[in-house]
Structure 1
Amino acid sequence: MKKIVALLMLFLFCMILKAQQNQIEVVTYEELEKRIEQEKSKTLVVNFWATTCAPCVKELPHFMEVNEKYADNPNFKMLLVSLDRLVDQERVLKFIKNKNLTAEVILLDDIKRMNTWISRFEKNWDGNIPVTIFYKNGDKVYFNDGEMSRQDLETTITEHL
């Protein structure tokens, strides 16, 4: 029995390590836009956050719970877009591991043009984070400015799946 438990623990540990990223993709706004376009056959949840944003960090466990729930759904994808600075890339990777983030995380390194691309995502976005944008079939279907509860996140996804 002890051997079975030990094997199970080893298996779970390996699965967690496999699910986490070992490196982070760094993209520009245009590359992120293309990435969103590539996922147009899915309900796509794009969350803009940073490791230094308390409300962002607070809501991430809800996002991971919901991401795990829909992980096997081929019509669903979650993308976490870090707005941390490029020089903080290692800190973001450590954060991903420490917080067990299983959704894909990318780093948007386009701070200098922030005033240009923010309004292209949403004309009413004032630049504050967290922000979550929901897409279905490549079209934006919902914009949430501020922290989301697990219930609100799940309800919004369910409405658009």
Structure 2
Amino acid sequence: MKKLCFLVFVFSLLAAGSSRAQNIASYAADDLNKRTSGKDTIYIVNFWATWCIPCVKELPAFNKVQEAYKDRPVKVILVSFDFKEQYPDKLSAWVRKKQLKPEVAWFNETNPTLYIPKLAPEWEGGLPATILINNTTGERLVKAKEITFEELKTWIDKQL
């Protein structure tokens, strides 16, 4: 009986982990702008892809931010630019394997001429890129390069 209970417990943990990984939202630019419009939260929005080596290299920094500010009004959103064929199954499996803690979304727009002006006109569209948003002060900063935990922490601490 103890073995059966243990197996049910382990199975439920595995199922919960896999269901979490399957819940990757699909965002367009307008959806993302709405998602990051709260006045009481500082948003860190990172654009990345599994095939982008510098993107993958910087992902641990966002895990660290998520952990360091878990009790503060700071929200990290990792927006994947992976190919449509990878969404949601392959992307979910990859996110689960890499143990990404922040919210992950998949970007479903393909025309940069239309979506870049909506997100950050100063961004040229290269990956990785991070937009730091404080709607209370109106400050928005675009880092169109690899970013470190220390850079993120410095910016966040100035905002809090």
The match for 1:67 is 66
**Cα separation, 2, equivalents of 1:99 and 1:149:** 18
Cα distance change, pair 124–141 in 1 and its aligned pair in 2 (3 A) = closer
Q: Which residues of 2 match residues 1-161 of structure 1 at below 5 A?
A: 17=17, 20-37=20-37, 39-73=38-72, 75-89=73-87, 90-111=89-110, 113-137=111-135, 139-161=138-160
Deviations 1:47-74 (CA, angstroms, capped at 9, x unpaired): 111111100000001110111111121x
Root-mean-square deviation over aligned CA pairs = 2.3
Counting aligned pairs with the same residue, the percent is 31
**Cα separation, 2, equivalents of 1:55 and 1:152:** 16
Give unmatched runs, 5+ long, in structure 1: 1-9
TM-score by length of 2: 0.82
TM-score by length of 1: 0.81
Give unmatched runs, 5+ long, in structure 2: 1-9
| Post-superposition offset of 1:86 | 2.1
| Post-superposition offset of 1:32 | 1.4
For 2:21, what is the secondary structure of its paired residue?
A: coil
Alignment check: 8 A CA contact 1:27 1:109 kept: yes
For 1:128, what is the secondary structure of its paired residue?
A: coil
Q: Which amino acid aligns with 1:77?
A: K
Alignment check: 8 A CA contact 1:133 1:140 kept: no
**Cα separation, 2, equivalents of 1:40 and 1:110:** 26
